[in-house]
Structure 1
């Protein structure tokens, strides 16, 4: 079936999750963070994701903002920065205004001009997502921002992906789903979406029962891919 809706994961896909630590590290007086910001950003993201998976399997859902804070607290301690309350507050504030990857605004505008429905499907808490969308200036090229808060479980639960079909009245094979997380794209493939893994870091393919239909290094060619599917 032709693609009707192009749906994107938010964090790491449209929005640069390393931006908060990178930008804070560049501020005056942040020498301790500057020495380890890349590791801290990686630790923060990994724990954030791990906590969503653990909460999903344990039926212990909470909002993504709490998970984000929990992940940051672990990362700060792992990097010897746990006593800096001002730094913690600054990093969390920056997470609300993450920058988009450079190709994102043009890519979304091209999709809208071509007549595709566009949306975000994210673990993110609605206020977090609203902040990122506003900061990136892409609200006018998105038809909706879907949060797992509406179903009370994190990805990759099937009920999360079903939110797209419910919202847009699509069959699964009419959806192009794009994620920077290989596991997310893989599970979405299992759900029936046509999928793209945006593998910016050149990582190996996850060993799962399903694989993404396409692998790209950035989002530039998504409009062409959607039109050809």
Structure 2
């Protein structure tokens, strides 16, 4: 059996990878006139405009972009949401999420196996701190890295380079664990290793380099990584 060398640092995406976004459907749906089906469109639009900001050399907190794009999606469906209401909705939606059932057992196994765990998120520093406190995830991670400190969202290559430098490791010593094909692709193109968690509705980008691990849940990712030497 082939011996696979362990990555020195495991970087975890937060929203959807660790935290279950399902409860957001009702809150977002309520302000969109009961249109819970628009959640995916809103989330995709939020990601799109986070990239627009980064590509243009600008930065706004993920929550601010989320509120602005919620207003955009609403307007396209004949709904008006005041800015203050949009911000409150996004802050409450992102702040009260719980971890997927497989998350804490997987993180515990990886810590016991000696891995260094780091959160790596597009959420702001304040946002991810609140999220982790609410979800009970704070003690599992040695560090939380927010793109707020580099001013550029994932999947820009500079952001992954910054994450590696921050943890004082080489790109090839990093592994991103994420449930988003775009995030995994960005990490791989930046010279990182990657594990894809195929949460419901998520797919690997076919044009990206081959992903080292691709399984349905985080527990299976942990089971594989524990066999590495």
* TM-score range normalised by the length of the shorter chain: 0.7 to 0.9
Q: Which position in structure 2 is the counterpart of 1:151? A: 150
Q: Which position in structure 2 is the counterpart of 1:199? A: 198
The runs of 5 or more residues in structure 2 that have no matched partner are none
Q: Matches of 1:155 and 1:180 in 2, distance apart?
A: 13
- Structure 1 stretches of 4+ with a deviation exceeding 6 A read 84-87
Q: Which shifted more, 160-169 or 61-70?
A: 160-169
Q: CA RMSD in A?
A: 2.4
Pairwise CA distance, 1:179: 1.1
Question: For residues 146 and 91 of structure 1, do their structure 2 counterparts lie closer, same or farther at Cα, with a shift above 3 Å needed?
Answer: closer
Question: For residues 210 and 143 of structure 1, do their structure 2 counterparts lie closer, same or farther at Cα, with a shift above 3 Å needed?
Answer: same
Q: Matches of 1:155 and 1:51 in 2, distance apart?
A: 12
The runs of 5 or more residues in structure 1 that have no matched partner are none
Question: For residues 3 and 72 of structure 1, do their structure 2 counterparts lie closer, same or farther at Cα, with a shift above 3 Å needed?
Answer: same
Q: How many residues align?
A: 223
Q: Does 1:21 align with 2:25?
A: yes
Q: Matches of 2:227 and 2:82 in 1, distance apart?
A: 51
Give the 5 Å matches for 1:51-200: 51-83=49-81, 88=86, 89-200=88-199
Q: Matches of 1:31 and 1:155 in 2, distance apart?
A: 28
Q: Which shifted more, 44-53 or 75-84?
A: 75-84
Q: Matches of 1:180 and 1:193 in 2, distance apart?
A: 16
* Equivalent residues of 1:36, 1:79 under 8 A apart: no
TM-score using structure 2 length: 0.86
Q: Matches of 1:112 and 1:210 in 2, distance apart?
A: 28
